[in-house]
Amino acid sequence: MNTFFLTNTPLFHGISENEISELLSCLGAKERKFKKDEIVFRAGSSISEIGLVESGSVNIVVNFYWGNSHIFGHIGKGQIFAENYAAIPGKELLCDVVACEETEVLFLSMRNMLTTCPRGCAFHTRIIQNMLRISAQKNLNLSSRMMHTASKSLRERLLSYLSEQALEHGSSHFTIPFDRQQLADYLAVDRSAMSNELSKMQKDGLITYHKNEFTLNGST
C-alpha cells in the first residue's frame, strides 16, 4: 500500500507517512482492484465505508426508471467517493459507482473514523477535520453553482457568476479558471449563446474582458 501517495490526498492532508500507516489499521483499510466497468458500489445498497481512488478513476452513474442512464460525476486519483452515503447510517445509494478503467480503490470504515479509537491516536482528529472540510467544500461548490443556475436568463447567470468571482478575488479585475465551453457547462447554457451574451454585456458597458480576464464596471 502506497502510503506516500496518500499524504498528497485531501483526506490525509497534514498527516505524515508513518502516521498514516498507523491510521490505516484504525480505519480498517482494505484495498481492492476493479476491472473496467466493474461495479464498486451498487444503487440500493447501504454502506459504511468510503472509497478512495488510488489509481484509475470511477464514474458516478445514475440509472433512470425507463432504462437510460446518466454519468453524473467522475472521481479521479486521490479523491474520495460515497462519503455522503457512508456518513448517513442506513441510507441507500441512489446511484452506481462504476470503475471506468483498471482501478484500485482503498476502502476506509466511516464508523471507525467517527468513533474515537481506543488508542486515542491524535491523527484521528485531523482526519475528521479533513473529512468535514471536504464535505463543507463540496457543499459550498454545489451551493454556488446552484445559485448561478437558479436564474432563468443567461445574462443573470453570468452576472451572478462574475459577481461571485469578483468577491472571491477581492477585486473587480480577475481571471476565471474556465474556458468558454467549461463556463457554459458550469452555468448550464449554450456556449455560443453565452459568447454572444458576453459581447452584448461588454457593449452595454457592464463588463470588459479579454480571454479569461474580466473587469466588472461599476455604475460609478
Partner DNA sequence: GCCCTTTCGTTGTTGCAACAACATACTCGT
Partner DNA sequence: ACGAGTATGTTGTTGCAACAACGAAAGGGC
Contacts 24+ apart (CB under 8 A), 128-134: 130/10, 130/11, 130/12, 130/13, 130/14, 131/11, 131/83, 133/10, 134/10, 134/11, 134/80, 134/83
* Contact by Cβ (8 Å): 207, 215: yes
CA angle 213, 137, 207 (to 5 degrees): 20
Binding string to DNA for residues 14 to 53, with x set by CB under 7 A, is what?
Answer: ----------------------------------------
| Beta carbon of residue 104, minimum distance to its own copies (angstroms, whole number) | 25
* Contact by Cβ (8 Å): 106, 2: no
Partner in contact with 21, chosen from DNA, its own copies, none, beta carbon below 5 to 8 Å by kind: none
Amino acid at position 66, single letter: W
| Nearest Cα residue to 214 out of 181, 148, 167 | 167
**Residue 132: exposure state from Cβ atoms within 10 A (0-12, 13-18, ≥19):** exposed
The residues in 33-52 that bind its own copies, with binding defined as CB under 8 A, are 43-44
170 CB-near residues (< 8 Å, 6+ apart): none
Strand 30-34: give its sheet, edge to edge: 30-34, 103-109, 49-55, 80-81
Minimum CB distance to its own copies smaller for 2 or for 84: 84
Q: Give the separation between CA 94 and CA 91, rounded to whole angstroms.
A: 9
Partner in contact with 16, chosen from its own copies, DNA, none, beta carbon below 5 to 8 Å by kind: none
Partner in contact with 180, chosen from its own copies, DNA, none, beta carbon below 5 to 8 Å by kind: DNA
The residues in 90-109 that bind its own copies, with binding defined as CB under 8 A, are 91-92, 94
Minimum CB distance to DNA smaller for 100 or for 189: 189
Per CB under 7 A, 196 contacts DNA: yes
Cell numbers describing residue 119: 488508542
Binding string to DNA for residues 150 to 179, with x set by CB under 7 A, is what?
Answer: --xxxx-----------------------x
Partner in contact with 146, chosen from DNA, its own copies, none, beta carbon below 5 to 8 Å by kind: its own copies
Query: Using CB under 8 A as the criterion, which residues of the chain lie in contact with its own copies when the complex forms?
Result: 43-44, 62, 64-67, 70, 72, 83-85, 87-88, 91-92, 94, 114-116, 120, 124-125, 128-129, 131-133, 135-140, 142-147, 149-150, 152, 159-160, 162-164, 166-168, 172, 188, 206, 216, 218-219
Binding footprint of DNA on the chain (CB under 7 A)? 152-155, 179-181, 188-199, 209, 211-212
